[in-house]
Amino acid sequence: MENKKSTLVTKIFYLSFLVIFLVFVAVVLLSIFKPFEYKKLDQLKHTTVEECLQENINAAGKQTKYYVLVYSNNDEENEQMLDAVLEYANFARKHKDASKIFVIEYDAEILEALTGKVSSIKAEDDLPYMFIVNEKSVSTKYNTASKIANALEEAKHSHNHE
């Protein structure tokens, strides 16, 4: 009887150790590979001009403010801005009350639609640009990669200090 109890205690000990080890390995792997973070702009929610100006684009409930980035896949020079956009998107994913960010991939039809619907965007504007939609209207526009990166960094900073 004593021997069976000892064997059972030993099995429970090894099983507990195995479970703790597997949890540790899973946590380490998740922290290294970060499978739930955005790593490329293609992973962000893409939208259209019509959708980006509708109030219900964001299913987060009460939130009516969000960012819309217009960019070109061909522009490799905006690495700082792309890093800032992905960093902000991951921040917004973790902080559900932060303003979301959506992207529109640039083409000639997009530019025509934007210039017709968003008065602050001109046909001669260079890419990238980002604007804030607040209750169905465009409130602010950023038209350089550094301004976009700074605006998103400031949004993260101000959210953390609310």
Task: For 86-101, write each residue's pLDDT tens digit.
Answer: 999 999 888 888 888 8
Residues 14 and 49 in one domain: no
CATH number at 97 reads 3.40.30.10
Q: Tell whether 89 and 151 lie within a shared domain.
A: yes
Backbone torsions φ then ψ of 5, nearest 5 degrees: -65, -40
Assess whether 143 and 87 both reside in one domain.
yes
11-15, 44-48, 79-83, 96-100 — which one is most confidently predicted on average? 11-15
CA angle 43–44–45, rounded 5-degree value: 120
Structural domain boundaries enclosing 3: 1-34
Rounded to an integer, what is the distance from CA 124 to the centroid of its chain? 28
For the chain, what is the domain count? 2
Residue 137: both structure tokens together:
């209207």
Residues 152 and 86 placed together within one structural domain of the fold: yes
Helices (H), the chain: 2-33, 49-52, 79-94, 108-117, 145-160
The pTM assigned to this predicted structure is 0.69
80 and 136 share one domain: yes
Q: What is the pLDDT of residue 20?
A: 95
Phi and psi at 161, nearest 5°, equal -105, 15
Same structural domain for residues 86 and 147?
yes
**Same domain (yes/no): 7, 81:** no
